């Protein structure tokens, strides 16, 4: 099974082979992925860590949708009931633990 076929399966969507190939080529061009030619086939691997990508995506989301205000994002999550009181309490514990570590 080819890499692109495996990727199509993992995405759980039917994507045309050339669409996946194009997306991978864009990621290589943007230096988000690397590829190596082995036996007439390209093998792809990430060039950046997942937490770097997540951090960048969240920052972009906050900038674009919430005018750069993380507080507005959190308030939106509370208002839409995506952030429950239990999750909010967990976040508060995480913040306190981080403050203690940073001191």
> Per-residue pLDDT averaged across 42-54, rounded?
93
pLDDT tens digits along 12-46: 667 788 888 899 999 999 999 999 999 988 999 99
Which domains can be identified in the chain, with CATH numbers?
Answer: 3-46 (no CATH), 50-102 (1.10.4040)
How many angstroms separate the CA atoms of 29 and 3, rounded?
18
Q: Is-above-0.85 flag for pTM?
A: no
Confidence at 1, pLDDT banded by 50, 70, 90:
low
* Average confidence (pLDDT) over 70-93: 92
Mean pLDDT of 71-97: 92
């Amino acid at each position: 099974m080819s890499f692109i076929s495996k990727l199509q399966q993992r995405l759980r969507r039917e994507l045309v082979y050339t669409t996946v190939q194009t997306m991978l080529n864009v990621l290589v061009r943007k230096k988000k992925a690397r590829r190596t030619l082995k036996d007439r086939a390209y093998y792809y691997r990430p060039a950046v860590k997942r937490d770097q990508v997540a951090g960048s995506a969240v920052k972009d989301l906050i900038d674009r949708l919430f005018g750069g205000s993380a507080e507005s994002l959190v308030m939106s999550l509370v208002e839409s009931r995506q952030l429950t009181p239990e999750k909010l309490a967990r976040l508060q514990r995480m913040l306190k633990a981080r403050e203690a570590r940073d001191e």
